[in-house]
Structure 1
Amino acid sequence: MNTNPIGIFDSGLGGLSVWKDIQKLLPNEEFYYLADSRNAPYGDKSPEEILRLSIKNTEFLLNLNCKLIVVACNTATTNAIGYLREHYAVPFIGIEPAIKPAALHTKTGKVGVLATKGTLGSTLFHHTARNHAAGITIIDQIGTGLVPLIEEGKATSETTRKLLIKYLTPMLDAGVDQIVLGCTHYPFLMPLLKELLPANINVLDCGLAVARQTQKVLEEKQLLNSSPNPGLSHFYTNKSPDILKKMLKQLNAQGEAKFVDF
């Protein structure tokens, strides 16, 4: 049994959607969640800056003795996880848009992908699309402005609604029946998405797949915490913790939200 915690970092609060799925699957594990909200979004930053921030986040979590780190950010995964795996001894779990299941389940042969500029422009995204969506038409859309709105606690605001209508319309006009959320912030848009999308549209995110992969790696490396007691979760942000506290309340999450200057 390994009682060391699992570390999770994101460019902000979006990775809480991933934490929720992992914590549900592995309730006995302890978690440290790190929200780099001061630097959100990562999607419009240079690869060099994304790597620098990812290294900083990783070393913060390693100083807390984390046994595994989840890079709960699509942009950080595509730009930094290769380096992190080469330079640090702990396992890293990355995020990948759910293109494969979308391609498998589409009946129209058309899949929409809503993601950040950093994800849609990455080599990993194009590699995934080429390998798993051959013969499928992908209508991709950069979700400019969505991450800052979610970080401000405005995921269901009228401004967010107008942006989503703008971004979803080309996908719907093209006849997609699957929409992939290629950013861990975007599951917090589900209330609006359910309202705006026809019932036949299936919306996919990567949270459950990441949770299962985390469990698999912990089992393979004999790092699971088999304690019968529920694990604690700790949440850190380098911006005001007020919105973090609000989002944790929405998720019915147990754990204290703290400001940390990192």
Structure 2
Amino acid sequence: MQSNPIGVFDSGVGGTSIWKEIHKLLPLENTIYLADSANAPYGEKSTEEIIQLSVKNTELLLSYNCKLIVVACNTATTNAIKYLRNTYADVSFIGIEPAIKPAVLQSNSKTVGVLATKGTLSSSLFHSTVKSHAEGIKIIEKEGKGLVPLIEAGKASSKETKTLLKTFLAPMLAHNIDYLVLGCTHYPYLVPVLKELLPKHVNIIDSGEAVARQTKAVLTKNSLLNTLNNKSSHRFYTNADVPILKSFLTEVKSTINVVYLDF
């Protein structure tokens, strides 16, 4: 079991931002990544559709004997992870939630911006997280409509993306945010553009490192950390564009295998 892979899935390429953090912290672990780009974005689908897609991805990862599954998608976590945990009681799932708590704790202006998908912002889990951690803090929510398709198309730095971001950021800046929470695993790929558009005092925060630490903690608790091999293997499957997925992994030094799979 120790050498079995960690499974990771997302509604496309965005979850590679999470995968990189996991790989950096746990370089000996074997991994399998599913980029469900053919069905992106999840954020505009119904809860029932999101659950159905999450089950499909989970079943495929379990067929590859994954020892733990990371739901590297905010929308899938907020809408489907409870169902997954109830349905697959013997499987450990690591979810992604917007990093509201650390942003709130560190904010001096007491105003925090959240850029996320419709599916995340409208979920009960998101609202309960805000209610639990953001008392006395003004949360400026904005749906990043249109951003995921642009990132999926390899256009994270395009003029169209910058125009959208300016529109989404304007009301946040008008309320003097000092933290911007990225509530979608695709959005870390927008950080270079966001740094161009945001004042220097605005901090950008996402969930990647926290997810990697939680993954390690759960593996350690269950005695599943891989200490058996010196060279890890990494398989990436996409049901859309292989070159696009590869382009998000160019700086990864480990050997990776990116292939098309109809799932």
SS in 1 for 2:199: coil
**Which residue does 2:9 correspond to in 1?**
9
**Which residue does 2:176 correspond to in 1?**
175
The offset of 1:254, in angstroms, is 3.4
**Which residue does 1:259 correspond to in 2?**
260
The offset of 1:251, in angstroms, is 4.8
**Which residue does 2:79 correspond to in 1?**
79
Paired-residue identity, %? 61
Count of residues in correspondence between the two structures: 262
Gaps of 5+ in 2: none
The offset of 1:230, in angstroms, is 3.0
SS in 1 for 2:248: helix
Mapping of residues 1-262 of structure 1, within 5 Å: 2-88=2-88, 89-227=90-228, 229-251=230-252, 254-262=255-263
Q: Contact between 1:237 and 1:258, CA under 8 Å: does it hold in 2?
A: yes
Q: TM-score, normalised by structure 1?
A: 0.98
| Paired letter, 2:147 | L
Q: Distance in 2 between matches of 1:83 and 1:53?
A: 12
Q: Contact between 2:181 and 2:204, CA under 8 Å: does it hold in 1?
A: yes
Deviates more, 1:62-71 or 1:248-257: 248-257
Q: Contact between 1:248 and 1:254, CA under 8 Å: does it hold in 2?
A: no
Q: 1:197-242, CA deviations, whole angstroms, 9 ceiling, x for partnerless residues?
A: 1111000000000000000000111111013513111110000201
Q: 1:159-202, CA deviations, whole angstroms, 9 ceiling, x for partnerless residues?
A: 00000001011101100000000000000001101111111100
Q: Contact between 2:104 and 2:110, CA under 8 Å: does it hold in 1?
A: yes
The offset of 1:247, in angstroms, is 1.2
| Paired letter, 2:8 | I
Gaps of 5+ in 1: none
Q: 1:126-159, CA deviations, whole angstroms, 9 ceiling, x for partnerless residues?
A: 1000101110000000000000000000000000
The offset of 1:34, in angstroms, is 0.2
| Paired letter, 2:31 | F
Query: What is the aligned-residue RMSD (CA, Å)?
Result: 1.0
SS in 1 for 2:249: helix
Q: Spell out structure 1 runs of 4+ moving beyond 3 A.
A: 250-254
Q: Contact between 2:2 and 2:228, CA under 8 Å: does it hold in 1?
A: no
Q: Distance in 1 between matches of 2:260 and 2:48?
A: 26
Q: 1:67-95, CA deviations, whole angstroms, 9 ceiling, x for partnerless residues?
A: 00000001100111111111112100000
Q: Distance in 2 between matches of 1:261 and 1:182?
A: 28
Q: TM-score, normalised by structure 2?
A: 0.98
Q: Distance in 2 between matches of 1:240 and 1:201?
A: 34
Q: 1:38-69, CA deviations, whole angstroms, 9 ceiling, x for partnerless residues?
A: 00000000000000000000000000000000
